[in-house]
Amino acid sequence: MTRERMELLARAWRRRITAREVLFVAAAGCAAVAGAAFWWPLTIVLPAAFALAAVTLLARLAQLQPWKLGAPHVARHLDRAFPELEESSELWLRPPAALTFVEQLQRRRVDEVAEHLDPSLGAPARDFLRTAWICFAAGVVLLAAALLWSMTRSEPRGAWAVEQTSATGDETTQTPPLATVSPKIERAELAISPPAYTGRPERVVSGLNAEIEEGSAVAWSITMDRDVQELRVRFGSRDDDPLLLRPDDNRTFRAEHTIRETSLYSVRALLPDQTVWAPTELYSLKVIKDRAPGLKILQPAAARTEIAPPSAPEAPAPTVAVEVLISDDYAIKDAHLIATVAKGTGEAVKFREQTFPFDGSEPAAQEPNARRFVKTFDLRALGLEPGDELYFHVEAADNREPASNRARSETRFIVLQGTDQSVSSPGAGVAGVNLVPQYFRSQRQIIIDTEKLIADQPTLPAAEFRDRANDLAIDQQLLRQRYGQFLGEEAETHEEHSPDDGHDHGADMPAPPPRNQEEVAAQFGHQHDTQDTATLFDREVKGTMRQALAAMWEAERFLRVANPGEALMPENRALQILKELQQADRAYVQRVGFEAAPINFSERRLRGDVTDVPATALFPAPAPQSDAAEEAIRLALRAAPWQQAEPTFLAALREIEPTLTAAATREPEVFMAGLQALRGLLAGEAAQPQSREDLERALLRILPAAKPQPARAREVSPSFAKPYFDSLGRRDATEPAG
Amino acid sequence: MSFAFIISMSALALLVAWLEWRRRNARQLGARLVCSTMAVAALALLGASRLDDETTARPGTTHATLWTSDAGADTPAAKDASGGDLQFILPGVLTRPAGAITVPDVAYIRRRHPEIGSLRIVGDGLEPFDLPAVEGLKLAWDADGSRPSRPTITVANFPRLLSLGDNLVVQGRIEGLAAGEKARLVLQGPQENATEITVNGRADAPTPFEISGGSPAAEGQFVWQLKMNAGSDTTLLADERIGVAVVRPMLPRVLVLESSPRLETSHLRRWFSEIGGALQSRTLVGRDRYRFAATNSSGAAFSVIDSELLNRFDLVIADPAAVLSLTTAEREAVRAAIVNDGLGLLLLAGSEPLGADATDDAAFFLSWKTARAGDEAAPNETNARAARLRWPGLTTPLDHPVPVAPLVFEESAGEIPLVSDSQGAPVVTSFRRGRGKIALSLVLESWRWRLEEQAPTFARYWSYLLHHVAKPQTSETPQWRIATAAHTPILPNQPLSLVYSAAGAPAGAAEITSAETGERTVLPLAQDPTEPQNWRATVWPRHAGWHRVTMPPEGAEMNFFVHEQHEWVSLASARRRVSTAAFVARAQRKLAELLPPAIASQRRVPTASPALLFALFLLSAGYLWVERRRGANV
C-alpha cells in the first residue's frame, strides 16, 4: 500500500459517493413527479421537480463534501475497518524517509499484514451503489407510469386520437404511432372537371376547399414539404374507404374522384418512419346541385281564362296563345305541353289528353339561362265546342346526366263559353237537382216572343200574325207537356179512350195480352198509387205546379185564337209560379244560435253518484323527452370559453362532434368554421377568440330558439322585508282589496 | 398639536427644571432654569410645527394643473392652464405641456406636493373613486371644454345576467346628436341575428334609445356587439361589446287549486312540464273527490293546505270557487303565507263579478271592485269579449285576441295593472298584500294561443304574469350579485363591488377566476353590518374577458365580463364628467362656506420659524453646557 494507491482509493470513494447521492435524489425526484402529476400538469411539475432536485443534491453534497475526501480519510477508514492494521494506516501516507525507526518497523508490519488482506483493500464495496440503483429504477418506473397515465388522460393530439373517439366509439387497434414531426402541405390544387352537359370549363383552384358542380371529377394534387410514404384522403368520419393518392414522387401525390354529394374530408399521411400524420383540418367540397328547371307561364296569366265562342260558323277559330319562360342552371333538353280537352257535362263528360310540342323558343331577354317558349292553340282544331274546357300544363326536362331533372308547371284552364251560359241561371232546381233549367228559360222566351208579336202586330199581315201566334201556342203546349211529365201526365200523343167518350170504338175487342211483367202483375192486383202521384214531389209542390200548368193552358188557348194580348197575363203567371217553385224548394237553415234555458249549476253540479270515484287520484305529468346531443351542446356552451374546460365538458364536446359534422356536411358555409374549431379544441389546441366565436355560433344555430320562461324576481334586501312587514302589523293585511 | 404631546413636553420641561433646582450649586440658578425650560420649549415647538405640517396638510398657495385626458386640451382655458405653477399628467394622456410630470394617480400629487392649494382639472375629469383624493383643494374644471365633438353613447344600461328566453334590452343615451340628426344603432347577437333602430336627435337633451337584441338558444356567456352609425353615412361612431351571462331562470313553484277541470290549467301544466318547472294542481272532480297532478316533481296528494305545504310553493293559482271552498284555517294559512312570506296568489276570474258571495274571511282574497262591461240590461247576450292584450314590453297589442271575462276593474288605490287590453283597460291587475301579491286575471282562455300555433305568445304571457306575481327570490339559495353600477359595462382597473348573499356564513373561500388567463384570486369577504346575510368584497379586475366568481362548496357562481381598456371610452368619459362636475360643484360650495374663517384663523396664529426655534434651542443648550463645564472647572 502506498500513498498513490490511497489517493486512487479516495478518488473512487468520491465518485461513488457523488453517484449515490445523485441516484437517490433522482429517484426521489422521479417519485415526486409521478405523484404530483396526478394533480398538476407536467409542464409545471417537471421544471419544479428538476429545480427542487438540483437544490436538494447541492445541499446534500454540501453537507457531505465529497470533494474533501482524501487519502487521510481513506487511512482512517482502513484503521476502522481493519483492526489488523493496528491504527497504523497513516504511516503509508508519510514518506519512508520521514519515519522514525519505530514507525519504520511498524510500517513493515502493516505492510505484511496488508499483503494478506483483501486485494481491494479500502476500495468501495461492489454493492455500494446497489440500493441507489434500485431506488433510481423504481423512481423511473413510477415516472414512466405517471407519464403514460398523463398522456392517456390528456386530450388526444392529432386526428389519430380523434379517430379513436369517433362516432362509432370503436377503438382502433394496431394504430401506428403519431408523428412527432409534422409535415406540411406545401402546395395543394384541385382540378375540377364539371360534367360535359354543364358546358362549364375545367378549372384549377388553389387549396383544398372548393364549390363544384354535381358529378364533377375532382383531381387532387398535393405537394408535401418533406418525404411522405403514403397520402390518403378521408371523407367524413368514416375510415373504411379512404382515397389513396398516387405518388408522383415522395412528395407530390395525385388522385381523382367523382363527387356527387357535399363532402368534408381530411388528409392523412404515413411518414417514412411509419408514423401517422393526421392533422385536424377539415376541407369541404360543396356540391352545387343541378336544380330542376323552373317554369313560369307568362300567357295566359290567369289560372282560368274564358273565351267567347265564335259568333258565326264562318268566323275565325278562337285561339289561345301560350307563352312559357323556362329557366335552368345549364340547359333545357325538352319542353312540351300536355293538354286535356273536357267535353260534355255531368256524367257524360269526356276527357282527351294530348301532348303538344311548342311552336318555337327564343332566349329570354332578362334571364341568361332562360328561354321563352310559345305555342298557339287552335280551339276549333282541338275540337272544342262552346261549354268545353281545355286544361294544360307544361313539362320540361334539363340536360342533366344520367337522369334529367324534370319539372312541371301549374295547370291553366281555358273555357270556351257555352251559349246557355249567357243567360242567367235560374238556380239549383228542385231539391238540389238541376232537372230542367232550359224549360224555365223557354217560358220566359215565350213571354218575350209574345210581347214582340204584340209589338209587331200592326205591321204584320193577319195570316202571319196568326201563324206566329199559333207557333207560340205550340211552344207553350210543348212546355206544358214537359212540365206535365213531372205530375205524371201522359204525353198527349197517346189519347186515352173510354166506352163513354161519345164516339164509336167499333166492336168490343178482346183485351190485348199483357206485354211485360208489370202488365201481368197488374191483372192480379191493383195499384194503390197512381202515376199522377207517383213522383218525387210533395203535394204542395204538385198543387203549385198544376196551377202553372193551368196558366200555361190558358195562355195556350189565347195563343191558339191569335189573341196574344190576353195570353200574356197567364204566361207571366205561369213564369211567376215556376219561380216560386224554385224558391220554395231551397233549403233553409236558421242562422241564429241556439239559446238553451239557463242552468243553475249550483243546483245541478256535484249531485252524481261518486262512490266509484277515488277521493284522491294522482296523475304525474310525463316528463319531456330530452335530446342527448342537444343536452351536450348546452353543457358545452355553459363551459365556454373552454380555456379551463374540465373533462366533463370535453366529453360533451366529443359528443357534439357527430352532430356538428352532419350539420357541416349539410351546410359547410355555416358550420364548417365551428367544426374546425371543435376539432382544434379536441386536439388540445388553445381556444382562440375567433375559433371560440365560430364554435359558439355554430352550436347556437343547431339548437332550437329559446322560449320565454317565467323567472322569479329578486327581492331587494330580503333581510329587511320580514321585520318591516312584521312591524307593520296585521292592519294592512286585513284590509279588503281595492 | 396633540394633547399628549403638550403634556409630555410640559412634563419634560418640569423634569429638567427640577433637576436644575436640585443641584447643590445654586449659582445662576434662575438663568439655568430659564434656559432649561426654553430649550425644552424650543424643542417642543420645533417638533410641533413639523407635526402640524404632516397631519393637517393645509392647502398652500401653489397652483397646479392636472391633465386627465386629451379632450378639451385645445380650449383657451386649457391653454391658459398650461402656464400654471405645476403641471401633472395622468397616464394615457397624450397632450404633454412643457415641464409636465406624469403621475400614477391623484393621491400621488397630494402625497408629494402638499403645498398645492388649488388644482385646475383639464379634460374629462377624474374617476369617482379618485375624487376623494382632491378633497380640500380649490378645484376648477371646464365642463364645456370636454364635451364630445361627435355623437357618442354616454349611458348604456343592460342586464349582466339574462334569464334564458328573455330578450336582451339595451337602454342608453346618445350625446352630441343634433336636433333632427339621425343615428342608426345595430345590436348583433351571438347567433349573428341583428336588430336595427334609428333614433332622431333632440334639441337640448341627450337622445335616449332602447334596442332589443334577442335571446341566445342556450345558457352560457355571450357577447353582443352594439354599433352606431351616423344616419346619413356609414361612418362608424361606436363599436362596443356587451358581455352578458345567460343563466337558467329560477322557475316559480306553482300550486293550482281549481273547483273544476279547466283547459287553462291543463295547458299551463303542459307548458310547465315542457320547460321543466314544478307545478302541482288539485282539481275538484266530484263531491269531496280531487284529482292531483304534478309536473317534474314528486308532488303528492295532500288533504290540508297549511303553512308547511305553502312553503313549498311560490305561487298559488286558483279560481274564486276554489278559494271559497277552502276551510277557514286553510284560508288563514294562505293569507299568512302571502302577507308574511311573500307568496303570490293569482285568481282566474269567471264571467261573474267577484265578491258577491264572499264571506268575511274570504274578503281578503275576493273583494275586488269589478263591474260588468257593456250593456247592463242584457247581461246574457255574451259571456266573454275578445281582447288583444298588451303588457309592458310589448310595443303593440297582440294580433291574436283571446276571450276575456265581460268585467272591468273599477279604479282602486294601490292597484298595479299588469296586463291591459288594446284600449288600455286592465284585464289583469294586482295588489300588494304585505310581503306578497294578489292578482286577478279576467283572461278566460289563453290556451287558445297554443291551439292557434301561438305557443310563444302563451309562454310570453304566462312568463310575464308569473314573474310579477310569484314570490321573489330571497337568500334561500346562495347567490352572487354586483352591487355597484350593476347594469353598466365593467372596465378594468376600476373597483367592482361584489355581494354574496346566503342564509349562513360562507363555508369556503370565495375565488375569482379569469377565464382567459386561468388566474385565480382568493376573495376576502366582509359581512355587511346592516344586512348580515350579505358578504361584500371589492375587486379591481386587471384583465379583460370573462371572469367567474365562485363560492365553494355550495357552488354559487356568477360570470361577469370585463371589457378592454379601449372599450366604452365614451361611457367612461361621460361618467368621469358627471362625477367630476358634481364633486367640483360641491367642493366649491363647501369652500365658499368654510374658507374665510379658516383663512382668518390662520392669520391670527403666526407660526414661528423653525430656524429661530432651533437657534433658541442651541443657545439655551449651549449656555447650560458652558455653565456646567465652568462649574466643573471651578
Kindly state the percentage of chain B with pLDDT values over 90: 17
Count CA atoms closer than 13 A to A167's CA, side-chain side: 12
Q: d(Cα B531, Cα A441) in Å, to the nearest integer?
A: 97
Other Cβ atoms closer than 10 A to B491: 22
| Chain B contacts in chain A segment 549-608 (CB below 8 A) | 598, 605-606, 608
- What is the predicted pLDDT for the residue at B623? 87
CA dist B252 and B264 (Å) reads: 18
Q: What pLDDT, on a 0 to 100 scale, did the predictor assign at position A437?
A: 41
Is it the case that residue B92 has pLDDT exceeding 50?
Answer: yes
* pLDDT given at position B59: 52
For residue A483, give the C-alpha cell.
212540365
pLDDT on residue B334: 93
Task: Identify whether the C-beta of residue B551 lies closer than 8 Å to the C-beta of residue B510.
Answer: yes
Position A491 pLDDT exceeds 60:
no
Q: What whole-number distance in Å separates Cα of residue A277 and Cα of residue B357? A: 84
Inter-axis angle of helices A437-456 and A462-486, to 10 degrees?
A: 160
A456 against B476, higher pLDDT: A456
Quote the pLDDT of residue B258. 92
Three-state SS for A482? helix
Helices (H) and strands (E) in chain B, counts: 13, 33
Identify which has the larger pLDDT, B404 or B70: B404
pLDDT of residue A168 exceeding 60: no
pLDDT beyond 50 at A559: yes
> What is the reported pLDDT for B430?
92
What is B48-80 written as a DSSP string? Answer: HHHHHHHHH----SEEEEEE--STTTTSHHHHH
**By the CB < 8 Å criterion, does A67 face chain B?**
no
φ, ψ of residue A276 to 5 degrees: the values are -105, 135
User: pLDDT at residue B634 above 80?
Assistant: no
Inter-chain residue contact A718 with B363, CB threshold 8 Å: no
Tell me, what DSSP letter sits at residue A160? H
Which pairs with CB-CB distance under 8 Å and at least 24 residues apart come from A538-544? A540/A584, A541/A430, A541/A581, A541/A584, A541/A585, A542/A487, A544/A577, A544/A580, A544/A581, A544/A584
Of residues B285, B459, B473, nearest to A707 (C-beta): B459
Cell, residue B585: 360643484
Q: In chain A, what percentage of residues exceed pLDDT 90?
A: 6
Higher-scoring residue by pLDDT: A540, A528: A540
pLDDT exceeds cutoff 60 at A268? yes
The pLDDT of residue B605 is 45
Residue A507 clears pLDDT 60, i.e. is over it: no
Beta bridge partners of A714: B473
Q: Integer distance in angstroms from the first to the last C-alpha of chain B?
A: 42
- B-chain CB neighbours of A722 within 8 Å are 340, 435
Mean pLDDT within B399-424: 87
Distance from CA of B515 to the nearest CA of A (A): 7
- Measured at the CA of A366, the angle between CA A363 and CA A368, to 5 degrees, comes to 55
For A708, the closest of B217, B367, B460 (CB atoms) is B460
Report CA Rg, chain B: 36
Mode of pairing for the β-strands spanning B138-141 and B116-122: parallel
In total, the C-beta contacts within 8 angstroms joining chain A to chain B are 219
Distance of alpha carbon B221 from its chain centroid, rounded? 21
The predicted model gives A515-525 an average pLDDT of 62
Q: What is the pLDDT of residue B356?
A: 55
A290 near A214, Cβ under 8 Å?
A: yes
Nearest to A620 among B260, B294, B464 (CB): B294
| pLDDT of the residue at B384 | 76
Q: Which of B104, B113, B9 is nearest to B60 (CA)?
A: B113
Higher pLDDT, A158 or B609: B609
pLDDT (mean) for A532-555: 77
Contact B164 A616 (CB under 8 A): no
Cell digits for B383?
A: 259571456
Residues 6+ apart with CB under 8 A from A551: A570, A571, A573, A574, A577
pLDDT of residue A330: 86
ipTM of the complex: 0.75
Between A589 and B602, name the one with better pLDDT.
Answer: A589
User: Nearest CA to A668 among A330, A267, A261?
Assistant: A261
Q: Which residue has the cell 497504523?
A: A88
Q: Which of A696, A721, A738 sits opposite B412 (nearest CB)?
A: A738
Q: Write the DSSP assignment of A571-603 as a string of letters.
A: HHHHHHHHHHHHHHTS-----S---PPP--HHH
Does the pLDDT value for residue A161 go beyond 50? no
Please state the length of chain A: 738
Instruction: In whole angstroms, give the CA distance from residue A546 to residue A34.
Output: 118
Mean pLDDT of A520-541: 60
Whole-number pLDDT of residue B151: 86
Check pLDDT > 70 for residue B88.
yes
Tens of pLDDT, residues A325-379: 998 888 888 899 988 888 776 556 677 888 899 988 888 877 778 889 999 988 8
Q: Are the beta carbons of A226 and A265 closer than 8 angstroms?
A: no
Q: Which of A625, A697, A707 to mutate to test the interface with B (most CBs of B within 10 A)?
A: A707
Backbone angles phi, psi at A352, to 5 degrees: -140, 125
Which residues are within 8 A (CB) of B243 and not within 5 positions of it... i.e. 6 or more apart?
B160, B221, B222, B223, B224, B546, B560, B561, B562, B563
| pLDDT of B602 | 42
| Distance, C-alpha B256 to centroid of its chain | 36
> What per-residue confidence (pLDDT) applies to B437?
92
**pLDDT tens digits, one per residue of B476-486:** 678 888 887 77
Q: Do B460 and A617 touch (CB under 8 A)?
A: no
Dihedral angle at the C-alpha atoms of A545, A550, A552, A558, nearest 10 degrees?
Answer: -170
Name the β-bridge partners of B243.
Answer: B223
* DSSP H or E stretch at residue B164: none
For B522-566, the pLDDT digits (tens) are 888 998 888 888 889 999 888 888 998 998 876 688 899 999 988
Q: Alpha-carbon distance B260 to A571, whole Å?
A: 68
Nearest to A725 among B277, B289, B435 (CB): B435
pLDDT surpasses 80 at A435: no
**Considering only CB atoms, which chain B residues are within 8 Å of A631?**
none
Q: Does residue B365 carry a pLDDT above 90?
A: no
Amino acid at position A554, single letter: E
- Residue B438: what pLDDT? 93
Q: What is the pTM of this model?
A: 0.58
pLDDT at B428 over 90: yes
B408 contacts B423 by C-beta, under 8 angstroms? no
CA-to-CA distance for A443 and A472, rounded, in angstroms? 10
pLDDT the model gives residue B475:
61
Q: Give the pLDDT confidence score for residue B614 in this predicted structure.
A: 86
Mean pLDDT of the A517-521 span = 64
pLDDT reading at B73 higher than 70:
no
Rounded CA separation A600/B583 (Å): 73
pLDDT band at B146 (very low <50, low <70, confident <90, very high): low
Judged against a pLDDT cut of 70, whether residue A500 lies above it is answered with no
State the pLDDT at residue A433: 41
Residue A440: predicted pLDDT: 44
What is the per-residue pLDDT for A571? 92
A637 pLDDT tier (thresholds 50, 70, 90): confident
pLDDT at A60 over 50: yes
Is residue A548 pLDDT above 60, yes or no?
yes
Q: State pLDDT tens for residues A81-103.
A: 888 888 888 888 888 888 888 88
Contacts of B208 (CB under 8 A, 6+ apart): B171, B172, B173, B174, B199
> What are the beta bridge partners of residue B348?
B441
Kindly tell me if the per-residue pLDDT of A144 is higher than 90: no
Q: Which three cell numbers mark A399?
A: 340536360
A694 touches chain B (CB under 8 A): no
What percent of chain A is predicted at pLDDT more than 70?
A: 76
The predicted-structure confidence for B208-243, as pLDDT tens digits, reads as follows 999 988 888 888 889 999 999 887 677 788 899 999
Model pLDDT, residue B443: 92
Taking CB atoms and an 8 Å cutoff, what residues of chain B touch A619? 291-294
Q: Which residue has the higher pLDDT, A725 or B606?
A: A725
Per-residue confidence (pLDDT) for residue A570, from 0 to 100: 93
Q: Which residue has the higher pLDDT, B563 or A434?
A: B563
DSSP string, B521-558: EEE--EE-SSSTTEEEEEE---S-EEEEEEETTTTEEE
Record: contact A696-B220, CB cut-off 8 A: yes
Q: What is the pLDDT of residue B51?
A: 55
* pLDDT in the model for residue A535: 56
Task: Give the pLDDT of residue B367.
Answer: 80
8 Å CB contact of B274 and A624 = yes
Output the pLDDT for position B459: 92
* Gap from B434 CA to chain A (nearest CA, Å): 6
Residues sharing a CB contact under 8 Å with residue B75, sequence separation 6 or more, in sequence order? B142, B145
A-chain residues near B432 (CB < 8 A): none
pLDDT at A179: 55
Q: Which of A250, A364, A379, A244 is nearest to A309 (CA)?
A: A379
User: Please, are residues B473 and A714 in contact by the beta-carbon 8 Å criterion?
Assistant: yes
More confident residue, B445 or A502: B445
